[in-house]
Amino acid sequence: MLEIVGVEDVAALFADVPSALRERAGLDLAPGLSEIEVRRQLETLASRNTAATQHCFMGAGAYPHFIPAVVDQILQRAEFYSAYTPYQPEVSQGTLQAIFEFQTLVAMLLGMEVANASMYDGASATAEAVLMALRMRNKRPRVLLSRGLHPQYRETIRTYATGAGSFELVEIPFDSSGRTDLAWLKNHLDDQVAAVVLGYPNFFGVIEDLGAAAELAHANDSVVISATTEAAALGLLKPPGQQGVDIAVAEGQSLGIPMSYGGPGVGLFATRNELVRMMPGRLVGEAYDGAGRRGYVLTLATREQHIRREKATSNICTNQGLMALALTVHVSLLGKNGIRRLAVANTTAAHDVAHRLAGKGWIAPFSAPFFNEVVLRRDDAAAKWQAARAKGILAGIALERWYPDLRDCLLLCVTEVHSAAAIDALTEELA
Amino acid sequence: MSDPTQKQAGLLLDEPLIFERSRPGRAGVSYPNSDKDPELILPAELLREPIAGFPEVSEPEVLRHFLRLSQWNYGTATTFYPLGSCTMKYNPVVNEVVARLDGFAGLHPLSPDDGAQGALEVILAVERILAEITGMDAVSLQPAAGAQGELTGMKMIRAYHVDRGDARRKVLIPASAHGTNPASAALCGYGTVQIEGNRIGLIEVDAVRRAMNREVAALMITNPNTLGLFEREIMQVAAVVHEQGGLVYLDGANLNALMGVAKPAHMGADVMQINLHKTFSTPHGGGGPGSGPVAVDALLEPYLPTPRVRRDANGLHWSSDFPKSIGRVRSFFGNFGMHVRALAYMLALGGDGLTQATQMAVLSANYIRRRLEGAYHLAFPATCMHECVFSDKGFEANGIKTLDIAKRLLDFGFYAPTIYFPLVVPGALMIEPTETESKETLDQFIAAMLEIAREAREEPDTLHQAPTHTPVGRLDEARAARRPVLRWQPVSPT
């Protein structure tokens, strides 16, 4: 090969690189390892994550759920995972058809007309939704964020918004039910408010009255955005689209993706047909070839960065392809009845735990209905959490780090993965 | 549904949409304790009806459906994938195994730090190796993809200038840049100024000097550039930007050409993103998940996203105590599963192996360049780095365009190069072979390209009709965009 290239050695290929750079470029890294050594090292590191083998009753944006074996079998198909963004549709129909199915499932789950091919995660999807709303209402400089929206989602919106234009983010308080304070909202809606963002269910697991919030916001011509961190809830709860939401986003990790220390997950993004050209992200659409055979292609790319450059709706290039596939496979397995039954199993288990702990001195500070996460308070919550930890139970998350006003409160999450024995152990340790 | 009789032979099986496989009452999975009446738990007005149109399919049918779809894909595991600028190298299978270890995959992101020491060590190790390769002072793994890494880097540049009371309004971007560069800059409120390359495709220091002033926050530059050429004046260019108080953003998409050869920090870069799914072998996943860590010099370190990993007497922990940080760009800590895979790759190759990867990638690209330059028009005849750019120039007489060449390659069992990019080369064909292909594979690809060049001259219709050996032929993308059908609809909504 060197001979054909016409150089004496490999170093000659780098003649265009200034020697001042080449001389200092050596890598002070350990020599390479064999596969068995790599595995040993990583197995050792994995084993030091002792929390991974404990009973996890934590949610707050990442949820422990069962994943049927078929899902990972498909994900390990190298034809899927080693492909790139489907630029050549004739040899990418597998990826494209799966994304088309994903878009359909996501639109149905959220009760919206149209969904994109996915975003990085729920938090960045929410931030992109806010930017889209600001494009839709470009004369209005204010966005109202519910304090019940996931704290990390609010932080992400803040980062995305900084420098992207001159507008302000204002937080809406929650009331004693744990829901967004709609009376406050009503008083703060004016012709400056571009959008209102609520969690659904919110960070406390509480099921917001999206319909009422949307009615108020729409009377003011503001855009309504809902963000769902626990997508399993959508199998049972009235979807955002049926409650007047304009842009519905979600984190899809719950439906087929391991927690994996918080990533990768998959961001879901859906809206109404009339807004599709303002939407960020990739889209797959149906197409036909010369022989009339049906296929799928990336479409409406004129919104995107590689065509529009600085005028694009977003800088996003890819989607979260393989994770979108995981969700598609899992939801296909669940189907019409299974998705509902999964949600029922979750809310049943969470209510059971809440009920049992209520009999043991734990107080629910919020009165509104919840899905599979619940806030419970007791003066010795921190001590109880530590005692449970010592028994191999991660008994939820203390809320004080995000909400100083919610002292001694734990946010507990119960799902279908928790066996009756694990739930017994949890309620005993917290007694 | 397409005509089922057309594809019922052998492996050419048709596969309907999952919704079209649905029959009432079927399910692929069941759960215990899921048969309660939800109205006994939650108010009826909060609940939805069963979702109309949701599929009802048995487990074996779901498996078969997605297995068949997988067979309609080219991937690096099946096919040489010379997609320029995407670094489609082999994805080692062991990476997939280690990322699925219970200790990683089963770890909740809000686990107490003392129960997640292994994960924190993974993140710190990847940060350190990336700092060594790039010469940078600090790294954050939080960005979810290359484009998000770019956005993060530009947010940091903005925060730096604002912090100094010197908010600037413009960013310089070469004409050959990826479209994400101007899009990322615009998302940070910057206007963009395009810098043209010289006649051999390179950015000259004089062009930058003319455009540079105190309004300019940064230069975003890709090195090697998207023509596969090393920017020889990069150090002088960076100095000009720095003299006027600007910063240099280096697009790290092409880092596969630099490992052990040149460190971006020494070129004068202040910040860059690194695409783990390109250089560090994590799979592209049909378009994600990627991972786009951002590396910075000491000047920008205070602005890195939070939280960051820190070590104290008790071990590693997360800290958000960085008052100048731009904040977070997503939930939790990034695409951790990709960090595990990248670490496995880095450990397997080591310093020598990574350097050799770069050398072999550059050798392969130059080998293809030399073997094809008589048959195809080479955009800029010079020694290239990890990729080379040809075009369809010279085939006009027979009406052959880049798209025809790309589609014909699919018939030969190869994925197509990146086409019509970079925009500065009309009809571009951008070929990046990577280091993981054997000479025999490169020779097969070259033979196919030479045969296609012959066909282009002697039987152009073969190219115009290509591809013919694929599950579908060329799809009418214009019509798809005019009347978009973006989802399946239930036939009769209930």
Confidence check: pLDDT of B4 > 50: no
Taking chain A, what is the end-to-end CA distance rounded to the nearest angstrom?
A: 73
Query: What would the two tokens of residue A198 be?
Result: 């609520």
For residue A317, what is the domain's CATH number? 3.40.640.10
The 3-class secondary structure across chain B, one letter per residue, is CCCHHHHEECCEECCCCHHHHCCCCCCCCCCCCCCCCHHHCCCHHHECCCCCCCCCCCHHHHHHHHHHHHCCECCCCCCCCCECCCCCCCCCHHHHHHHCCHHHHCCCCCCCHHHCHHHHHHHHHHHHHHHHHHCCCEEECCCCCHHHHHHHHHHHHHHHHHHCCCCCCEEEEECCCCCHHHHHHHHCCCEEEEECCCCCCCCCHHHHHHHCCCCEEEEEEECCCCCCCCCCCHHHHHHHHHHCCCEEEEEECCHHHCCCCCCHHHHCCCEEEECHHHHCCCCCCCCCCCCCCEEECCCCHHHCCCCEEEEECCEEEEECCCCCCCCCCCCCCCCHHHHHHHHHHHHHHHHHHHHHHHHHHHHHHHHHHHHHCCCCEECCCCCCCCCEEEECCCCHHHCCCHHHHHHHHHHCCCCCCEECCCCCCCCEEEECCCCCCCHHHHHHHHHHHHHHHHHHHHCHHHHHHCCCCCCCCCECHHHHHHCCCCCCCCCCCC
CB contact under 8 A, B144 and A263: yes
Report which of B459, B446, B444 is spatially closest to residue B395, judged by C-alpha positions: B459
Assigned domain for A29 exists: no
Query: What would the two tokens of residue A213 be?
Result: 């919030």
CB contact under 8 A, A318 and B287: yes
**Res B11: pLDDT:** 62
- In B, minimum Cα distance to A6 occurs at B370
Same domain, A291 and A399: no
Same domain, A171 and A298: yes
Angstrom distances, CA of residue A352 to CA of A280, A356, A412, B30: 41, 6, 12, 20
Confidence check: pLDDT of B5 > 60: no
Same domain, A294 and A386: no
Same domain, A325 and A213: yes
Assigned domain for A33 exists: no
**Tens digit of each residue's pLDDT (9 = 90 or more) over B204-229:** 999 999 999 999 999 999 999 999 99
Assigned domain for A46 exists: no
Assigned domain for A23 exists: no
Q: All domains of chain B, ordered by start, with CATH?
A: 4-70 (no CATH), 94-348 (3.40.640.10), 357-480 (3.90.1150.10)
Same domain, A258 and A342: no
**Res A415: pLDDT:** 98
Task: State which residues form the domain around A353.
Answer: 51-67+335-429
Task: Give pLDDT tens digits along chain A (431 positions).
Answer: 999 999 999 999 999 999 999 999 999 999 999 999 999 999 999 999 999 999 999 999 999 999 999 999 999 999 999 999 999 999 999 999 999 999 999 999 999 999 999 999 999 999 999 999 999 999 999 999 999 999 999 999 999 998 877 789 999 999 999 999 999 999 999 999 999 999 999 999 999 999 999 999 999 999 999 999 999 999 999 999 999 999 999 999 999 999 999 999 999 999 999 999 999 999 999 999 999 999 999 999 877 777 777 777 788 877 899 999 999 999 999 999 999 999 999 999 999 999 999 999 999 999 999 999 999 999 999 999 999 999 999 999 999 999 999 999 999 999 999 999 999 999 999 99
At which residue do the structure tokens 């406390």 appear?
Answer: A204
Of A329, A361, A389, the domain-final residue? A329
Higher pLDDT, A164 or B187: B187
Please give the single-letter amino acid code of residue B254.
Answer: N
For residue A58, what is the domain's CATH number? 3.90.1150.10
Of A266, A297, A329, the domain-final residue? A329
Assigned domain for A22 exists: no
Q: Is B203 on the interface with A (CB under 8 A)?
A: no
Residues of A in contact with B102 (CB under 8 A): 46, 52-53
Residues of B in contact with A101 (CB under 8 A): 17-19, 488
**Shortest CA gap A113–chain B (Å):** 9
**B8 — pLDDT class (breaks 50, 70, 90):** low
Same domain, A121 and A164: yes
DSSP single-letter state for residue A173: P
Assigned domain for A11 exists: no
Same domain, A215 and A102: yes
Query: For chain B, what is the mean pLDDT?
Result: 95
CB contact under 8 A, B27 and A259: no
Confidence check: pLDDT of B494 > 50: no
CB contact under 8 A, B350 and A302: no
Reduced to 3 states, what is the DSSP secondary structure of residue A89? Answer: helix
**Res A337: pLDDT:** 95
**For an interface test with A, which of B486, B488, B489, B494 has the most A Cβ atoms less than 10 Å from its Cβ?**
B486
Same domain, A249 and A397: no
Same domain, A95 and A62: no
Which residues are registered as beta bridge partners of A373?
A: A413
Same domain, A267 and A369: no
* Interface contacts (A, B; CB < 8 Å): 680
ipTM summary value: 0.97
Report which of B369, B377, B268 is spatially closest to residue A4, judged by C-alpha positions: B369
**Tens digit of each residue's pLDDT (9 = 90 or more) over A323-364:** 999 999 999 999 999 999 999 999 999 999 999 999 999 999
**For an interface test with B, which of A22, A82, A242 has the most B Cβ atoms less than 10 Å from its Cβ?**
A82
**Res B333: pLDDT:** 98
Residues 313-332 of A with CB under 8 A from B: 314-325, 328-329, 331-332
Q: Is A338 on the interface with B (CB under 8 A)?
A: yes
**Tens digit of each residue's pLDDT (9 = 90 or more) over B62-115:** 999 999 999 999 999 999 999 999 999 999 999 999 999 999 999 999 999 999
CB contact under 8 A, A68 and B473: no
- In B, minimum Cα distance to A78 occurs at B77
Q: Select the residue of B71, B155, B479 nearest A163 (Cβ to Cβ).
A: B155
Angstrom distances, CA of residue B126 to CA of A156, B275, B435: 23, 13, 22
**Shortest CA gap A400–chain B (Å):** 14
**For an interface test with A, which of B64, B140, B275, B330 has the most A Cβ atoms less than 10 Å from its Cβ?**
B330
Assigned domain for A370 exists: yes
Same domain, A183 and A202: yes
- Structural domains in chain A (count): 2
**Tens digit of each residue's pLDDT (9 = 90 or more) over B134-162:** 999 999 999 999 999 999 999 999 999 99
Distance CA A169, CA A142 (A): 6
**B10 — pLDDT class (breaks 50, 70, 90):** low
**Res B32: pLDDT:** 83
Please give the single-letter amino acid code of residue B32.
Answer: P
Of A297, A329, A361, the domain-final residue? A329
Assigned domain for A170 exists: yes
Q: Select the residue of A88, A121, A347 nearest B144 (Cβ to Cβ).
A: A121
Q: Is A285 on the interface with B (CB under 8 A)?
A: yes
Confidence check: pLDDT of B12 > 80: no
Same domain, A383 and A240: no
Q: Residues with Cβ < 8 Å from A264, sequence gap 6 or more?
A: A121, A257, A320, A322, A323, B144, B288, B289, B335, B336, B337, B338
Query: What would the two tokens of residue A313 be?
Result: 């709706």
